[in-house]
Structure 1
Amino acid sequence: MKKKLSQILSLIVCLLMVAAVSLRRDGKLLGHDFRAKQKAETSVKNDTLRIESDGTMVINTTNLGKDISGYGGAVPLEIYIDKKGVISQVKALPNGESPEFFGRASTLFNKWKGKSLKEAETTQVDAVSGATYSSKAIIANMQRGLQYADKASAKAQTSIPFDFSAKNIAGLIVALMAAIVPLFVKNRRYRMVQQVLNIVVLGFWCGTMVSYSAIIGYMSNGMNVVSLLLPCVLLVIAFIYPMFGKKNYYCNHVCPYGSLQELMGKTVHYKVKISGKTIRRLDTFRKVLWGALMICLWTGLWFDWVNYEPFSAFMVESASWLVIAIALVFALLSAIVMRPYCRFVCPMGSLFKMVG
């Protein structure tokens, strides 16, 4: 009973820690904006927001990004978001950029096209070589426009229905398999099949996993359980299962990156021998690193570190080259060192350990 109470208190502490980061970074908590400094944004003056006849929401960044400048001046955009919350297209409005350079930079529009509003907000996009100023202006305008769209659609999100797409259904089935089957089946072959499914379906296909970026976003904007059922299942596995004796269950049975590391470890028989003393030092390093990164979030010194967790490398088209490089390094290292990122680095795993 005493241990259970301690776990409940630890879970509450975890929630409060994430809530503090959400308020510090976004000024929002569960969809409620506490900054209240952009009241004028709810109006449609200057066509900042308009709704077309088919329900498409169009965000014009002329006013939102008037302080953002490319090489030749402002680079306003129109962002089209359909009724399902997916970006259908991005258009450039008249600007003073050189047509040649802006033409190169405008290829970035495809980085956001086809993504949901949530996915687009967390997509890391690098500037196009040879058109840096135009690229940075486009990226900054997109960020402003997406933030505006997120606020404008906050109320509507409560009525978003369940997504019956093949991708979402497959992801939910794989997540439930990982949540239930290993509780009753202890079989190496099945475990390998499950790990492959975690990587292919949850990782590469759905791009859905528990990360700091995700949980801070959920804490800031709130979650519609129906439309975000798959992430909800993963969160339950990650934070609730440990309270029933299933410590590190998400890390060991669900996480796509953890699964990838374990499978990589089976490719090479040789393993680097690490002494107990070194393991203890590496574990201490993980704890110190986690503490330092949390301080960066609470103080606002470095919010962006959450964008460099290797989990987003599964979304190859939108992941930055640095994230992909980090993911590859630890994946290759896991061939000779058992799950190195999970054991000695992962900040998300450190948060899970508080509950377990």
Structure 2
Amino acid sequence: MKKLRQILSLIICFLMIMVVSIRRDHKVLGYDLRQEKVGTEVVSDTIKYLDDGIIEVNTTYLGKDIVGYAGNVPLLIRIQDDKILSVEALPNVETPDFFEAAKSLLSEWKGKTLAEAESLQVDAVSGATFSSKAIIDNMKLGISYAQSKEAESGSSFTFDLKFVVALLVSLMAALLPLFIKNRTYHFVQLILNVIILGFWTGSFLSYTVIVRVMSNGISLPVGLIFLILLITAFVYPLFGKKQYYCTHVCPLGSIQQLAAKVSPKKIRLSQIVVKRLNLFRELLWAVLMLLLWTGFFFDWMDYELFSAFIVQSASVAIIVVALLFFVLSFFVPRPYCRFVCPTGTLFKISEQSK
């Protein structure tokens, strides 16, 4: 009966995330729910493969629900060898003066790989907030669409050093702690998680990643690392390994554990304080999920602290908050994981057996 409740909890979490994917991307596991309405003409207009190897993504249809100040703000994104060559604003009805200011954002993505562009945090231009936001949201959709097409064809995948090392470290984190109960090894694994999965390759689970996988599915072998991470997060608990991903794999959880291990001083929290902080975490998660379900604010997913590992594109605010939680970890064990993390809360809910 307990196992059945766990499975039901996991199914409920799956359905909750599926609703978010449908609400935002109109897709589930790579299947476009609007496919029958799209037709071949619209699809061919959305992405074009030119003879010189350049891929053009037109967001006119993808971003038809995105409105700036006066109307839609479609973009033409040119990609070659997994890098963005240019971003061009297509005809729109925005106020010319405001849109001219917002157009300065178009160069922000130039020269970035699709992965870098996806995690890039771009702020709206002051005085042209509506147009800026429309540009940013169109870019997100265009980049996501291009990545899904590359995943389908496998054209962007190569067995490079980063992939091989990250795959090895993720496999170590997923398997070895099941058999090795050595503290020294655990300490080394935590360091590898932080350096390799965190700072070097940016391989971790977050709401952004989970929703993207729900929308586009996983294409092997390029998605093998994330498949391993998802298994440790959602499948391992079915076999008694609750919170396995958070304590053995997650680079953000790992760096907090390392801070706690090297610090002799700890702040003892009373049971009342812990209870209230846990209540805060649950209420925060409920509010954030409501924002996703209503489609009111999808962008909060991009501001989870995991993005601080991608230093070159993380916002200053995210880095500062991440550093504050890192310092706090020396005195309070895993404060972000225990009392804030929305992704961790999702994992906990999927493990419920009561």
Q: TM-score, normalised by structure 1?
A: 0.82
- Deviation larger for 23-32 or 308-317: 23-32
Q: Does 1:355 align with 2:354?
A: no
1:335 aligns with 2:335: no
C-alpha RMSD over aligned residues:
3.3
Please report how far the alpha carbon of residue 102 of structure 1 lies from its aligned counterpart in structure 2 after TM superposition: 8.7
Q: How do residues 1-356 of structure 1 correspond to structure 2 at under 5 angstroms?
A: 2-35=1-34, 39=39, 41-44=42-45, 49-59=47-57, 78-82=76-80, 86-90=82-86, 105=105, 107-110=107-110, 113-116=112-115, 120-127=117-124, 133=128, 140-141=134-135, 143-144=137-138, 147-148=141-142, 150-151=144-145, 154=148, 157-160=151-154, 163-356=158-351
Q: Structure 1 residue 78: deviation in Å?
A: 4.8
Please give the per-residue CA displacement for 1:15-37, whole angstroms capped at 9, x wherever unaligned: 11110111122222112222456
Tell me the matched-pair count: 341
Using the TM superposition, name which of 319-328 and 29-38 deviates more: 29-38
Pair 76,222 (structure 1): closer, same or farther in 2 beyond 3 Å: closer
Amino acid at match of 2:108: L
Contact 2:77–2:142 (Cα < 8 Å) also in 1: no
2:187 is aligned with what amino acid? M
Structure 1: any 5+ residue segments left out of the alignment? Answer: none
Aligned-pair CA distance for 1:43: 3.6
Q: 2-side partners of 1:219 and 1:75: how far apart?
A: 26
CA distance in 1, matches of 2:227, 2:285: 24
Q: In the aligned structure 2, how far is the partner of 1:22 from the partner of 1:256?
A: 25
Q: Distance in 1 between matches of 2:32 and 2:159?
A: 30
Once residues 60 and 299 of structure 1 are traced to their aligned partners in structure 2, the CA distance between those partners, rounded to angstroms, is 26
Identify if the C-alpha distance between structure 1 residues 68 and 4 changes in structure 2 by more than 3 Å, giving closer, same or farther: closer
TM-score normalised by the chain length of structure 2:
0.83
- Cα distance in 2 for partners of 1:113, 1:160 equals 19
Preserved CA contact (<8 Å) 2:87 2:107: no
SS in 2 for 1:319: coil
Output the amino acid matched with 2:85. Answer: Q
1:126 Cα deviation from its structure 2 partner: 2.1
Do the aligned partners of residues 314 and 294 (structure 1) sit closer, same or farther apart at CA in structure 2, a change above 3 Å counting?
same
Q: Percent of counterpart pairs with the same letter?
A: 46
- Per-residue CA deviations over 1:164-218 (Å, capped at 9, x if unaligned) read 0100111110001111111122222211211111011101111111111111111
Deviates more, 1:277-286 or 1:119-128: 119-128
Per mean C-alpha deviation after superposition, the further-off stretch among 186-195 and 29-38 is 29-38
For residues 133 and 212 of structure 2, the distance between their equivalents in structure 1, rounded to whole angstroms, comes to 19
Question: Could you tell which deviates more after superposition, 58-67 or 197-206?
Answer: 58-67
Maintained 8 Å contact 2:125/2:132? no
